[in-house]
Structures are given as structure tokens and as C-alpha cells.
Chain A
């Protein structure tokens, strides 16, 4: 019997510095593995753990750096510079939507707000019936949702985890008659610091950094950080490994070139990086859907100012969600007030004295975050050469998506007014605020769709998905019902890319469940993938 032990703190990682100082590796080296996993976030970490637990030799390649929890400073600006993709400046071609993504060991699980949501049963059952994915039916996936949730301490927020911002949202919902409930989060004994987006220095957030990655390494998996996979290697319709470059994360200089020979390649870089890698690798794409159907769940933040000080930035970052409109309209609202720096990005504060007055109100503010369902019309495309090319992300709201954002913003503002807000600031590029509910609609009328809806609402996306969708038909989908890329044996995708259609909830839990599902499928085909 093999004894498996998990280190108390941290994860053993080989980073660029270690590679540079290892004379045996040099400027070019190769490694053999049964399974190479590209990306160490929600999907990649689960696959790595499942495969390593099954006795496979697993290698995890992460493009971002390794930031041990002890190094988190709770300073959002510094954190964004270090472990967010493009320093939190990953944008679409028009430059008005930020695609927020973690770029570090643990991926976006490290910088997320711990929100764990399941898709409605009806959604999963639709995937089963309309997309020919019967294994994704609600009753089939329910045990996996429970298991993955239990591992990470997913629980419904308790009373002490509902902060003053959330209480205002509850108050507003009660007066409006809207349904609300406490958010479920994957956090253990939350210390209520409110700094989730900057990483959790006391390891209470159950990110991949303290769960699946240490578990995977305990079972023998090996992690390389600072390692950017340039392409998947294929031969005769079969994945054979990957090529990668190890870069110094501070200078960007290439430290070494790496080649991994593996029986199975699992790509789990998320809905932006995964299609880019597959495009660079020139995988067959009969459907033409690779990099298409990107759903963004546009996110905006409505800010309300109340008479009394709330200190709404204290306590658990997210407390409650308004679920009244999830099924009817595809909107959900989650309470939460941003740190000052993030507030600057998400709302328009005027100039000069007006800005000063705005910031004086900070402790009187409550925030309601709006997530609207979109139509999944975004695209991700790699342009140019293998090493010198770049990504191009396209998404702008259609007129109906724009109308949804207007409507959902209006509802969020009404909730805050019902809770007693004296003023509500709207998340627009124009300087707009309303001092009562009657003024609200007039203000919103000023937001004109204009040129393709660009530079209208200040939008981010934390939850993009669907850019390599799963399906039965190779002419309409990118991966098959096992998560394997159509036409390439041994090449799997296990992240938010494979979600078959736009969905209205935070995707992390679903991604982890799908990653476990894909792992099980790989195992079920072990005899055709692995020699031993």
C-alpha cells in the first residue's frame, strides 16, 4: 500500500528560475508523461488529480507564475500585475470589455470570489436532450456535483458571511418581492477579509492552489510554472505531446524550450487560451466552430449610496444573490462592493470635485453586480505566426443583448432604491446617476446603442465559456461527448470552453464537474490511450 501525503503548505512547482539553474535541462529539454495537462485552473487541476490518482504519470504545464499563498499581499493592484492575464487588461478588439482571467498556478480559482453555482436541472437536461449529451443530464451529474462540492467545502453563506452590502440587497428584494438567497461559496472558515480577488493568504479559499493541485502532486503529478505551451503535437490523427517555452515571468525572456511526449494531452487553459492553442496547433476543425460561440456573461456593477455608513467593503466579498430573474431572463445579481481601485475601473465617477465627493461616499456605498445572459456570439482567434502572433477577442453586444443589459441594470438600481439608496450610479461610459426611481429610466434612455453597443456600459467578464463546445456532430461542435477533439485521438479539452451553450451561472463548479467527467472518459478508454 502506497502512503500518499499532502504537504501542509504550498505546492511543489518547477518554475523558470529552477529550470534556468538546472544545468541538466539546458536550453532545450524533453519530458515523457502519460498525460500532459495544459493549464492548472479549475479544469486542469481536477484532471491532473484524477489522472495522477489513477496511477498515471502526469505533467501540468502552467503559463503563469507560481505565487504561494504566503506571498499574497491583499493588495489588488499588485496582484493584478502579478497573476492576472495581461495584468487584468485582457480586452476585446474594441477595448471596452475586460476579460478577467487568472494567470498563475491555480488559474482563475485563485482570484475568484468563491461563488459556486450549479446550472438548473432544466439546463443540464437540455444539454442532454438537445445536444445529444445524455451523460450530462442533471441526475447523472448530480453525484459528481455533490462530491466535488464536498471536497471544497462548498456551503451556503451563513449569517456572519452576509455583510452590510448584502443586507441592503436583501432589504431591497424584500420590498420588491424578488427572490434572493445566500450565495454558496467554496471557502473554509472564511476570515471575512473581503480580499478574495487578490488571493487568499490564509488559505481559506478552496482554490486549486490548496486542493486539487497539492492532491495531484501528492499522487506524483509534476507542475511546471512559467511554461507557455505553443502547440499540441499530432501525428496521424493522434495527439503525441506538446511543445512549450519556459519564460522568465519578469523579463519575458525564454529560459528554455520544452517538449513533452505524452499519450494523452488535456487542454484546460480556459475559454480564451484553449481555442488559441488549438488554432495555433492547427487541429482539424470541420465545424469551423473552434474559437466561436464565446459566451461572456457581461458583468456590470451598479452602486448605491445610502444615508448611513455601511462599510460595505468589509466582510465576505459576496453575500447574497438575487435569483428572481435567472430562469425568466437569464440575469442574476450578486451583492458585493469593489475595492477602491477596482471601483475606478467599473464605474464612472466624474471629474474633480465630483470625484472627490464620490469617493467621500465610499463607506456609504453598496454594490450590486449584474450578470446578464448573452447569446454566445463572441470569437477568439489567433492571428499571425506561432511565436510572434497574438490573440484577437471579439465581442460587442447585439441590440437585444444591449437591451438586456439596460433592463438588468434598471432592475438592480430599483433594488438599491427600494433598500433606501439616495443615489444610484449607473455602470456606463457616460456620467450617469439617478437620485430616485423616477429619474432612473430617463437616465438610462441616454445610453444609446450607438455603434454596435461599444463604449456604452462598462463591462467585464469573469465567466466566459463555450469557445470549443461539446457535441455529437463534428460539423457543429469542437469536442465529442467524451471531451475529445473531433478527429484527434488522445486530445481532450476540460475547461469552460466545452460548455455547449451560454449559461447564466458562475461556471467554476460546472467546469470542475465536467473535468472529472472527462477524466473518467479518458480512464474508460485507457486501453486505447496508454501502453500500460
Chain B
């Protein structure tokens, strides 16, 4: 044994103790983080039942789009068709049911990310579905100018809600869009075009 060995042993023990302390601390912090995240990611809406008969929307997605529609389309007190009278969620459900399975799976992940993104993005500490109107609107606006993923997800949610609303003919009078006119105008069908004649001479 050399004179340096006790010091080295002590140093090693200290280092081991330090590493153990570090490990325990990290584990405790992680556990706290996971517990906090798990606590924050819960929403009172998780306990709220959704109408039966959804073809494609999960319960979480239903609540997400319901919240998004309320924020994106403040029709109350305006000339626009009241949101409650337009089957926005039913239309979204129908659209999603038509997606290819692979695309639908990716969309599910994206929607979950959009919902849970509010836990961290903006430090709201709660999911998008639990944000108040001003926070939710701000969330949309910030994501619309955020990074590529944020822009994409904000766009997807907005696009689906808006398409689902504006595809309904009851929304058109407010913007004076005429909608289908052929029947109203009594347009007669001209039928098939006559068979070409004399074509070979010129071709």
C-alpha cells in the first residue's frame, strides 16, 4: 500500500457517495416530474362521456375538436349560423373515418401532441382542452407562427373545424354564398355531345 492509497480510497468513496446522491436525486426529480406531468395531463373532461356513435373520433379527440370549434368560431351574437346548430363534430368524425389507416394513426398522434403541448408550450400547465378562451386563442396564434410542427398541427385543427362548419349549407346565407343554383334556376341538361362527324378528313 502506498501513501496515496487512503486518499485515493477516500476520494473514490466520496465519488461513489456523490454519484449515489446524484442518482437518487435524479430519480426523485424524475418521479416528481412524471407524477406532476401525469397529474397535469389529466383533464376533468376525461370523465365526461361523449355521444355514442362516433365512427372515428376518440373521446379525447372529441373534446379537443369541441373546444377548438368553440374557440375558433365565436358565432354567438353574430349573423353567422350558431355553432350549436351545425354538426361540426359529426362532420369531422365523418371526414376522419375516410382517412387511410396510416394517415389516421399519424393524425391521432398529432392531435394528442397539440392537446398536451399546452402543458409546456406557454407554461399553461394544463391541456389545450382546459384552457380558457383567451388562452386557447393565444395558443392557436402562437402555434400558427411557431415551428414547423406547431404550424402544421394548428393548421390541421383549424382546417378541420372550419371545413366542417363551412361545408354546411346553413352557414352560407350569412356570407351571401349562393350554394347550388342549377335546380333553382331551372337549368336544363344539355345531355351528351353529338358524335363528331367528318373528323378523319381533317385529322
Which residues of A line the B interface, CB within 8 A?
4, 6-11, 69-70, 73-77, 81, 86-87, 89, 91, 95-96, 143-144, 146-147, 151-153, 188-189, 191, 193, 195, 201-204, 206, 210-211, 214-215, 218, 311, 313-314, 339-341, 343-345, 348-353, 355-356, 359-360, 362-363, 390, 429-431, 450-451, 454-455, 516
Contact = CB atoms under 8 A, between A and B. Distances in A.
Contacts of B133: 352
Interface stretch (B34-42, B45-53, B147-155): B147-155
Contacts of A95: 103, 106, 152
A93 to B, nearest CB: 10
Contacts of A352: 71-74, 133, 137, 140
B178 A314 contact: yes
Contacts of A73: 180
Interface string B174-198: 1111111110010111111111100
B102 A189 contact: no
A455 B148 contact: yes
Interface string B87-113: 000000011001110110010000000
Interface stretch (B17-25, B117-125, B157-165): B157-165
B166 A74 contact: no
B187 A345 contact: no
B151 A430 contact: yes
9 shortest A-B CB distances, which residue pairs? A74-B180, A77-B167, A344-B162, A351-B140, A340-B166, A362-B175, A202-B187, A214-B192, A8-B191
Given A143-B202, A193-B181, A351 B158 contact: yes
Contacts of A152: 193
B144 interface: yes
B162 A189 contact: no
- The interface centre, meaning the residue of A201, A311, A340, A431 with most chain B CB atoms within 10 A of its CB, is A340
Contact of A429 (B74, B137, B151, B176): B151
A356 B74 contact: yes
Contacts of B203: 143-144, 147, 516
A343 B171 CA distance: 14
A348 B175 contact: no
Contacts of A340: 166, 171-172, 175, 177
B147 to A, nearest CB: 8
Contacts of B193: 6, 151-153, 188, 206, 210-211, 214-215
Given A202-B187, A455-B148, 19 more contacts: A74-B179, A77-B167, A89-B98, A143-B203, A146-B202, A147-B202, A152-B193, A193-B187, A195-B180, A201-B187, A203-B192, A214-B192, A344-B162, A349-B158, A350-B141, A352-B74, A355-B73, A356-B78, A359-B80
B199 interface: yes
